[in-house]
Amino acid sequence: MIDRPFIKVWRDGAVGHIELNRPEAFNALNRQMMSAIVGALQTFDEDAETAVVVISGAGRAFAAGADIDEMAGDDPVRLEMVDPFAVWDQIRLIRKPLLAAVHGFALGGGFELALSCDLIFAAENTQFGFPEVKLGVMPGAGGTVKLTKALGRHKALEWLWTGARMTAEEACAHGLVNRVVPADNLMEVAMKMARKLSEQAPLSLRLIKETVNQAADLALYEAMLIERKNFYLLFASEDQKEGMAAFREKRKPVFKGR
Ligand code: CAA
């Protein structure tokens, strides 16, 4: 894989890896870097050899937010023209599982990038938060909305109004993080999960992700109809025949993503 500006990209077996690599600025996400991240995600999504993507940060943090130096001189007209958050929307269209392995700081846009992933594994030392209020702004890449959906109105307002940082354990208790692990084991535990996912039937992973994303947004019955359609659709796949035959023959299935 070709490295792009501010990130390192590689593949280890079926696991694609994107490492945010601007450690001198706590991996602050500038616009070039966000385009690079999204470009790498799209490349992995198209790559037949990649089943799962892990995103992590180099140095002392996952990411300390959007690049404040870059934003400081912005005005609404320029923001409307550049629309810097439009590129973030592309992450939602990635069909493969995305796992964020976070440590140190996941603040502002860094927290939002983690929340854009499907699973979040956090090192014990991670501090999460939305400090935008202290800069005279607010989250702009989904943080306000996602925090409210996860925590409810009252708790979300307290975190967003104070800009306080929450520990990995608190984030986990709020359902924002899947797992809290010792910092030294973070990548090992994340890779173990990524490899486990890479052994599952790819079409099942993909349609489960699509259905769960819809379930989070739609009314119950509408989401159930999508679930049902995707369930029926999977019976058109070779992997469904293989998965069920393997179960009955008491052997491990060999999935082909077809
Ligand atoms: N943007 C640009 N540069 C940043 C940065 C950011 N978000 N976060 C850290 N840096 C830079 C610092 O400017 C500093 O650079 P210099 O060495 O050139 O001075 C370097 O990283 C080290 O930072 P500190 O000296 O501040 O290190 P620290 O250990 O004292 O503190 C920190 C670390 C708590 C992460 C602190 O840097 C910090 O609070 N950063 C800003 C966090 C923040 O406000 N994030 C939200 C941004 S807005 C946003 O994300 C909007 C959105 O919704 C997308």
- pLDDT band for position 4 (50/70/90)? confident
Query: How much is the pLDDT for 24?
Result: 97
In testing the pocket of ligand 1, which one of 68, 71, 83 has its CB within 8 Å of the most ligand atoms? 68
Query: How much is the pLDDT for 1?
Result: 66
Ligand 1 centroid–CA 60 distance in Å is: 12
User: pLDDT tens, 182-236?
Assistant: 999 999 999 999 999 999 999 999 999 999 999 998 999 999 999 999 999 999 9
With respect to residue 214, please indicate whether it lies within any of the assigned structural domains: yes
Which residue is closest in CA terms to ligand 1's atom 11?
Answer: 25
Query: How much is the pLDDT for 50?
Result: 98
22 and 110 in a common domain: yes
User: pLDDT tens, 126-154?
Assistant: 999 999 999 999 999 999 999 999 999 99
| Location of structure tokens 């958050």 | 85
124 is catalytic: no
49 and 174 in a common domain: yes
Q: What is the pTM of this model?
A: 0.96
53 and 18 in a common domain: yes
Please determine, for residue 102, whether its predicted confidence score (pLDDT) is greater than 80. Answer: yes
By the 8 A CB rule, do 83 and 105 touch?
no
Q: What is the position in ligand 1's atom list of the atom closest to the CA of 130?
A: 46
Query: How much is the pLDDT for 2?
Result: 66
Q: What whole-number percentage of the chain has pLDDT above 90?
A: 97
With respect to residue 1, please indicate whether it lies within any of the assigned structural domains: no
166 and 126 in a common domain: yes
162 and 70 in a common domain: yes
Could you give the number of structural domains in the chain? 2
Please determine, for residue 3, whether its predicted confidence score (pLDDT) is greater than 90. Answer: no
210 and 178 in a common domain: no
User: pLDDT tens, 223-257?
Assistant: 999 999 999 999 999 999 999 999 999 999 999 99
Range(s) of the domain holding residue 213: 202-248
Select which of 65, 109, 110, 143 is catalytic.
109
Average confidence (pLDDT) over 5-10: 96
66 is catalytic: yes
Q: What is the mean pLDDT of the chain?
A: 96
- pLDDT band for position 48 (50/70/90)? very high
With respect to residue 255, please indicate whether it lies within any of the assigned structural domains: no
CATH code for the domain in which residue 221 is found: 1.10.12
